[in-house]
């Protein structure tokens, strides 16, 4: 048997933690995947996995082998998929997950022209936990995330940057009555947040004020576009990425609250399941996004 075949199956099983899932991703049967691993273990003279109730666990030999071959396999498959993408039809479905606001403002418009080429998109939204779960379980080919991805089965590249801005309706901003607002002052004004943990607000406070946010949100919503609308209506102040509130600021529906230093910049990443790069359509969508074709950037 060509050793590249069992090595490919091994790498998929190593990343998936499951022979069943590896076989599904490779389009082969589970007995075939088991045969590939048995042949590879025979060639190497050592076991690579311990069978467990919910999958397989790698042995130290498997960890060492994966480190040695993963980069080469990924590079070859990406080159081949890119070549096929340039010479083949891109019909098929690409599964994408990420924050609703960024997908709506940037990614959706960038990918809309590809639909005319026969491409289908299945877009899901979610928080950090759901995004990484979708990638790990193979339910997403590509993902947009504000955290640097980690894991053997994931590749990533920087997609863009966003500046966090503290904003409020002009009438509410006048209540601050200060040249620069302080953390204490903000704690006395109604706050709108993404969640109870004050994720974006906490990052802003730590960067600008050097302290934790101690305010309690009067309203939370897991979609920043909802907070944008509520802030414009004067319900409270909030922290939003610059791309999302730029139009409201230009129109005067919102103003930035003055602080002693600007808010932090966040790096956004495009992450992908390395297995998915075998499909030319996934490589093509990835490359379109990474070429900087995101409107408004």
What does 48-73 look like in DSSP terms, one character per residue? -EEEETTEEEE-HHHHHHHHHHHHHH
- Give pLDDT, residue 84: 61
- Give pLDDT, residue 137: 84
Residue 275 has pLDDT above 50, yes or no: yes
Percentage, residues of the chain above pLDDT 90: 48
Q: What is the 3-state composition of the chain as percent helix, strand, coil, each rounded to the nearest 5?
A: 50, 20, 30
Q: How far is CA 230 from CA 191, 218, 219, 222, in A?
A: 10, 11, 9, 13
Cα gap 296→105, rounded to integer Å: 9
- Give pLDDT, residue 100: 92
Between residues 79 and 111, the one the model is more confident about: 111
Residue 34 has pLDDT above 70, yes or no: yes
- Give pLDDT, residue 184: 85
Between residues 235 and 86, the one the model is more confident about: 235
* Of the listed ranges 79-88, 107-116, 206-215, 280-289, the one predicted with least confidence: 79-88
First-last CA distance in the chain: 50
User: What is the residue-averaged pLDDT of the chain?
Assistant: 87
Which of the listed ranges 81-90, 195-204, 286-295 does the model predict with the highest average pLDDT? Answer: 195-204
- Give pLDDT, residue 138: 85
Percentage, residues of the chain above pLDDT 70: 92
- Give pLDDT, residue 97: 96
pLDDT confidence tier of residue 4, bands split at 50, 70 and 90: confident
Read off the DSSP letter of residue 151. S
Cα gap 30→259, rounded to integer Å: 59
Domains of the chain, first to last: 4-85 (1.10.10.10), 89-159+267-290 (3.40.190.10), 162-266 (3.40.190.10)
- Give pLDDT, residue 118: 82
Over residues 122-148, mean pLDDT: 91
- Give pLDDT, residue 278: 80
Q: Which residues of 80-100 are buried (b: 16+ CB within 10 A; e: fewer)?
A: ebeebbeeeebeeebbbbbbb
Over residues 7-35, mean pLDDT: 87
Over residues 179-194, mean pLDDT: 87
Residue 210, SS3?
coil
Residue 295 has pLDDT above 80, yes or no: no
Residue 143 near residue 134, CB atoms below 8 Å: yes
Residue 297 has pLDDT above 90, yes or no: no
pLDDT confidence tier of residue 289, bands split at 50, 70 and 90: very high
Going by DSSP bridges, is the β-strand pair 142-145/92-98 parallel, antiparallel, or unpaired? parallel
Over residues 204-220, mean pLDDT: 92
Residue 294 has pLDDT above 50, yes or no: no
Residue 100, SS3?
helix
Residue 115 has pLDDT above 60, yes or no: yes
Residue 252 has pLDDT above 80, yes or no: yes
Quick: pLDDT tens for 49-102: 998 878 889 999 999 998 888 888 877 777 776 666 554 567 789 999 999 999
Cα gap 8→26, rounded to integer Å: 9
């Amino acid at each position: 048997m060509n050793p590249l075949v069992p090595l490919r199956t091994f790498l998929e099983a190593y990343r998936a933690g499951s022979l069943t899932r590896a076989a599904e991703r490779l389009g082969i049967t589970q007995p075939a995947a088991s045969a590939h691993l048995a042949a590879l273990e025979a060639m190497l003279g050592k076991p690579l996995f311990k069978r467990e109730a919910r999958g397989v666990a790698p042995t130290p030999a498997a960890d060492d082998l994966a480190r040695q071959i993963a980069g080469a396999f990924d590079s070859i498959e990406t080159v081949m998929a890119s070549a096929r993408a340039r010479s083949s039809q891109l019909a098929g479905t690409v599964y994408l997950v990420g924050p609703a606001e960024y997908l709506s403002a940037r990614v959706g418009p960038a990918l809309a022209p590809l639909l005319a080429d026969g491409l289908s998109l299945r877009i899901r939204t979610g928080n950090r936990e759901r995004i990484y779960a979708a990638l790990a379980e193979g339910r997403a080919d590509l993902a947009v995330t504000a955290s640097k991805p980690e894991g053997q089965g994931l590749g990533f590249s920087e997609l863009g940057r966003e500046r966090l801005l503290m904003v409020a309706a002009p009438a509410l901003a006048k209540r601050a009555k200060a040249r620069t607002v302080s953390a204490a002052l903000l704690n006395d004004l109604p706050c709108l947040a993404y969640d109870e943990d004050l994720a974006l607000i906490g990052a802003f406070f730590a960067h600008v004020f050097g302290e934790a946010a101690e305010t309690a949100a009067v309203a939370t919503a897991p979609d920043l576009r909802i907070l944008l609308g509520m802030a414009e209506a004067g319900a409270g102040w909030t922290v939003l990425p610059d791309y999302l509130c730029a139009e409201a600021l230009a129109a005067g529906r919102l103003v930035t609250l003055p602080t002693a230093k600007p808010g932090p910049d966040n790096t956004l990443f495009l992450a992908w399941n390395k297995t998915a790069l075998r499909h030319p359509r996934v490589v093509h969508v990835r490359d379109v996004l990474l070429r900087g074709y995101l409107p408004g950037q």
